Amino acid sequence: MSVVESFPLGAATGLAELTRDPHARLAVLRAREPVSWLPELGGWLVTRRDLALGVMRDAATYTVDDPRFSTAQVVGPSMLSLDGDPHAHHRDPFTAPFRPRAVHEGFAPFVERETDRLITEFETAGTADLRRAFAGPLTVAVMTEALGLAGTTTDTVLAWYDAIVRSVADITGGHAAGAAGTAAYAGLRAAVEQTVADQDAASLLVSAAGRLSVPEVASNAAVLMFGGIETTEAMITNALLHLLHNPDQLALVQADFDLLDGVMEESLRLEPGAAVVDRYATRDAVLGDVTIREGDLVTVSLTGANRDPDVFPDPDRFDVRRANARLQLAFAHGPHYCLGAHLARLEARTALRRLLERLPGLRLDPDRPTAVEGLVFRKPLSLWLRWDV
């Protein structure tokens, strides 16, 4: 029996369905083929939480260090696409500013000021696309500040980021990446080189350049920017969408802002901004009851793992008081756990609170409906809201 015949549900699963609305299909796969071969993916899809954890924890068997890894094709080797000692070499110079205390002391005032500045720009309008007017600019500004990137603007960084994300998504979807991603990375690399040359002692890039080559600094700056903008923009927009689709939960939060942490974790559980992570088998291995062959692509569905009913009862329900929501895997796990998770949480918590405090009657715009979508990165393309003025 061929591998396709052995996994009929995987054979019937298309990337278009996983891009548009994957949850029903992922639930069926998780229950009946938790490790399944998807011909359109050209690899295995893992949807059960315990199996997902096993893959992400075992970098010796399931590595990111493979020429097919999509991000590396766009920006070159980095902490995201290396394992073992090379991974530590690339990651360690960037870790200190992203520890919990350092994040609070180093970024909280800037995040609060930038959040209020952006809201002031549109609050009297009574309506706005909060993805483009707020979530995107906020996360770009914070990452530009975090990296100490010289000689550029928020709009330029946002344009670079958009192009790089599109290229990575195209490669993951089996398409050739366009030239825009390469051009965007060239612009970012030039800005990194200028920053390092300026020797601004406050720049994380300058600090990292003491231990890494300039090309290594640039590739890691790209993945930090890419992750710091993409996941955090998605956190903010997806959490707003979940809250406004669930008025009973919104009322609970408006009465007690201490529930904002629950909002973030539950929203991350239901719709992680990065839906999947890719690994490549370094040797033959058994995963669940499936034999993985050396060289096989193994894609972990964080979206599928986060709705595992064996861990999260009533998994499709948005519940800001869910006791174990923090077991979600939106920031991955193991050696590639997201370096900026604490900063992302700080930004999202601050953003949600100030939006709810300053925009009374905040609600979805019924004339411009929206939904979360995306194969690799999942968020609404726009988020038009209204409020009382």
Band of the pLDDT at 166, cuts 50, 70, 90?
Answer: confident
Average pLDDT, the chain: 94
CATH of the domain at 232: 1.10.630.10
Q: Quick one: which H or E segment has residue 91?
A: helix 84-91
Q: Quick one: which H or E segment has residue 276?
A: strand 276-281
Query: What number is the average pLDDT over the span 209-223?
Result: 92
Is pLDDT above 70 for 297?
Answer: yes
What pLDDT is attached to residue 201?
Answer: 62
Q: Helix, strand, or coil here: 359? A: coil
What pLDDT is attached to residue 230?
Answer: 86
- Residue 287's DSSP bridge partners are 290
Least confident of 13-17, 188-192, 308-312, 369-373: 188-192
Is pLDDT above 70 for 1?
Answer: no
Band of the pLDDT at 153, cuts 50, 70, 90?
Answer: confident
Band of the pLDDT at 337, cuts 50, 70, 90?
Answer: very high
Share of the chain above pLDDT 90, in %: 78
Query: What number is the average pLDDT over the span 87-100?
Result: 95
What pLDDT is attached to residue 243?
Answer: 97
The first and second tokens of residue 60, run together, are: 């010796």
Query: What number is the average pLDDT over the span 199-219?
Result: 87
The first and second tokens of residue 275, run together, are: 């839906």
| DSSP characters over 304-342 | HHTT-TTTSSSTTS--TT-TTGGG--TT--GGG--TTHH
Query: Looking at per-residue confidence, does 180 or 203 come out higher?
Result: 180
Query: What number is the average pLDDT over the span 318-342?
Result: 97
Calculated CA dihedral for residues 82, 84, 85, 87, nearest 10 degrees:
30
Cβ contacts of 197 within 8 Å, gap of 6 or more: none
Query: Looking at per-residue confidence, does 320 or 160 come out higher?
Result: 320
Query: What number is the average pLDDT over the span 305-309?
Result: 98
Cβ contacts of 117 within 8 Å, gap of 6 or more: none
The first and second tokens of residue 162, run together, are: 């958009």
What pLDDT is attached to residue 142?
Answer: 93
**How many domains does the chain divide into?**
1
Give the structural domain span for 44. Answer: 3-386
pLDDT in tens, 243-293: 999 999 999 999 999 999 999 999 999 999 999 999 999 999 999 999 999
Is pLDDT above 80 for 200?
Answer: no
Query: What number is the average pLDDT over the span 72-77?
Result: 90
